[in-house]
């Protein structure tokens, strides 16, 4: 019979009462009296700790001293119904293996209640707290749910490249990829960097989005999605921006902008509902510790249809609100976070999908409307977050797309392959990008995006 269990199994298997099993885990806390010690073990598989009862007389004093907060241990003992409150089962220790002690005088997580800022500085250890255990379990479940959602719909998972030779999205500054010796960069006669001598024989960057490659695949496989890391070297040091973040980008042939909105709304509701169904304990903890409205907010998103309106209609709402914004409102300007949050949190008190933005503030590939001024863009705006999804119907008309590329001065050498899809069998298609960490901000109620990715990359920060 199996002897080694995880705490997840112990919590979910009441029939284990009376059995002798082994748990490998880390010590969270120890309370000790003369004859008995209570040690709370956590192995990260579930929110709960397992309480171990130790008869002090039966164990070596030196060993017990080392069973302190943070130590890695293996404990074998019998599971019994708990006498105390807060847990169904506890373990009576027969034998204890000390894998690795954690010196109480130097272990940084000796005490509870550290600030999130402090924990960011010890990102290598913060996994061991209740908060980050909860956040990263939820992160896992959300990633899994994303694949499940698309697999249920027969979308195909496409791996877009991380190194790209094109700089066309215009989504922000890119990180260069090179293997040049930076002290001796080859130059051409006119002093320019000679990329033909670089690893790929051309200038390359880390991708800002898998969309353009996703479109190529969608125009053959019909419905695909990407889910990978993307990189933006924009120097915006905010609580909602990362230099390295994960994005989910579905791309669908034969979808118009309304189909696109319907999919985005169904997708977000599926994910939030999945969290409510599958991450309850972790959500309850985050709700109680950080944000008493969290679970209510999640339930509301699942239950209420999103409000849909055009950018122009939103402008009217903002103008008629009589509110003084830091960034003045005028048709044609990009919406700032304060505008988005006013619409979502104060005016509609609901999630919002905005469409038909001015073409000047959106990417070249968006389908142009007949008014000559707007494009079939859509942004989904969420309470607390602002923009969580950005997407559009794509321009499938070769001549219109080419005209826009020329107008924006995008080099043809970067775009010829993309244009060919509009030359051969071009069809209407649409897609969007969901920022995975923005989704996690919403689902966990965390306020800073650095707290929902294991190792945040932000300006001046890539320590771990
Ligand atoms: O609106 P964006 O820039 O859209 C695109 O990249 C399109 N290619 C998507 C598509 O149509 N396939 O980014 C999409 C989403 C945003 O709505 C936001 O949630 C997230 O990606 N995002 C960021 N998340 C964290 N840090 C950043 N610096 C982000 N920039 C965008
Ligand atoms: Mg956007």
The crossing angle, in degrees rounded to 10, of helices 436-444 and 130-152 is 120
- Alpha carbon nearest to ligand 1 atom 5, residue: 433
CATH topology of domain 126-173+208-451: BirA Bifunctional Protein; domain 2 (3.30.930)
pLDDT at residue number 335: 95
Instruction: Please state, as a whole number, how many other Cβ atoms lie within 10 Å of the Cβ of residue 333.
Output: 14
Cα 418 from Cα 336, distance rounded (Å) = 31
Has residue 382 got a pLDDT over 80?
yes
pLDDT tens per residue, range 337-374: 999 999 999 999 999 999 999 999 999 999 999 999 99
Measured in Å, residue 118 CA sits from the centre of ligand 1 at: 28
Measured in Å, residue 246 CA sits from the centre of ligand 2 at: 14
pLDDT tens per residue, range 308-326: 999 999 999 999 999 999 9
Domain ranges of the chain: 4-110, 126-173+208-451
Has residue 170 got a pLDDT over 70?
no
385-405: string of b/e by CB count within 10 Å (b at 16+)? bbbbbbbbbbbbeeeebbebb
Measured in Å, residue 293 CA sits from the centre of ligand 2 at: 27
> Is the beta carbon of 242 within 6 A of some atom in ligand 1?
yes
pLDDT tens per residue, range 73-86: 999 999 999 877 76
pLDDT at residue number 236: 83
pLDDT at residue number 411: 86
Mutate to test the pocket of ligand 1, among 167, 353, 435 (most ligand atoms within 8 A of CB): 435
pLDDT at residue number 171: 59
pLDDT at residue number 400: 97
> Is the beta carbon of 171 within 6 A of some atom in ligand 1?
yes
Has residue 104 got a pLDDT over 80?
yes
pLDDT tens per residue, range 192-243: 999 999 999 999 999 999 999 999 999 999 999 999 999 999 888 899 999 9
Q: Taking a C-beta distance cutoff of 8 angstroms, is the pair 248, 214 a contact?
A: no
Q: Which atom of ligand 1 is nearest to the CA of 433?
A: 9
pLDDT at residue number 1: 63
Has residue 172 got a pLDDT over 90?
no
**Shortest-distance ligand to the CA of residue 432:** 1
Given its phi and psi angles, is residue 143 left (phi above 0), alpha (psi -120 to 50 degrees) or beta? alpha
Percent of the chain past pLDDT 70, that is, above it, reads: 98
> Is the beta carbon of 209 within 6 A of some atom in ligand 1?
yes
Q: Which atom of ligand 1 is nearest to the CA of 387?
A: 17
Measured in Å, residue 214 CA sits from the centre of ligand 1 at: 15
Identify the band that residue 328 occupies on the pLDDT scale cut at 50, 70 and 90. Answer: very high
Lowest-confidence range among 81-85, 249-253, 310-314, 331-335?
81-85
Superfamily (CATH H level) for 4-110: Nucleic acid-binding proteins (2.40.50.140)
Question: What burial class does residue 437 get, using C-beta atoms within 10 Å of its C-beta: 0-12 exposed, 13-18 middle, 19+ buried?
Answer: buried
């Amino acid at each position: 019979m199996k002897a080694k269990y995880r705490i997840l199994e112990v919590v979910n298997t009441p029939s284990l009462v009376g059995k002798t099993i082994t748990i490998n885990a880390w010590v969270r806390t120890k309370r000790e009296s003369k004859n008995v010690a209570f040690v709370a073990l956590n192995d990260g598989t579930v929110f709960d700790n397992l309480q171990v009862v130790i008869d002090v007389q039966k164990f070596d004093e030196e060993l017990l001293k080392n069973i302190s907060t943070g130590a890695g241990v293996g404990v074998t003992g019998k599971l019994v119904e708990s006498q105390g409150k807060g847990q169904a089962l506890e373990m009576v220790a027969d034998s204890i293996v000390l894998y690795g002690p954690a010196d109480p005088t130097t272990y940084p997580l000796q005490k509870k209640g550290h600030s999130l800022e402090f924990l960011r500085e010890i990102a290598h250890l913060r996994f061991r707290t209740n908060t980050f255990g909860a956040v990263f379990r939820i992160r896992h479940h959300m990633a899994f749910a994303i694949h499940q959602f698309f697999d249920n719909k027969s979308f195909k998972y496409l791996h877009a490249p991380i190194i790209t030779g094109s700089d066309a999205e215009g989504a922000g500054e890119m990180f260069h990829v090179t293997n040049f010796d930076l002290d001796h960069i080859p130059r051409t006669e006119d002093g320019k960097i000679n990329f033909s001598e670089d690893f790929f024989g051309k200038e390359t960057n880390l991708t800002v989005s898998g969309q353009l490659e996703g479109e190529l695949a969608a125009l053959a496989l019909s419905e695909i999605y990407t889910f990978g890391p993307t990189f933006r070297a924009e120097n915006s040091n905010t609580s909602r921006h990362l230099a390295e973040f994960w994005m989910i980008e579905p791309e669908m042939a034969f979808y118009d902008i309304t189909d696109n909105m319907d999919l985005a709304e169904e997708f977000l509701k599926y994910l939030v509902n999945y969290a409510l169904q599958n991450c309850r304990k972790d959500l309850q903890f985050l709700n109680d510790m950080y944000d008493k409205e969290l679970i209510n907010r999640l339930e509301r998103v699942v239950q209420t249809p999103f409000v849909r309106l055009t950018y122009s209609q939103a402008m009217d709402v903002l103008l008629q609100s009589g509110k003084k914004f830091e960034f003045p409102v005028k048709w044609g300007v990009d919406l700032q976070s304060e505008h988005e949050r006013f619409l979502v949190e104060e005016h509609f008190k609901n999630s919002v999908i905005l469409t038909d933005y001015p073409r000047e503030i959106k990417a070249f590939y968006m389908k142009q409307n007949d008014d000559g001024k707007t494009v079939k863009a859509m942004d989904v705006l969420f309470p607390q977050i602002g923009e969580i999804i950005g997407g559009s119907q794509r321009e499938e008309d070769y001549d219109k797309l080419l005209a826009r590329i020329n107008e924006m001065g995008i080099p043809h050498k970067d775009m010829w392959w993309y244009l060919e899809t509009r030359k051969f069998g071009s069809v209407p298609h649409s897609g969007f990008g969901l920022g995975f960490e923005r989704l996690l901000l919403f689902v966990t109620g965390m306020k800073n995006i650095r707290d929902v990715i294991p190792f945040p990359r932000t300006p001046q920060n890539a320590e771990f």
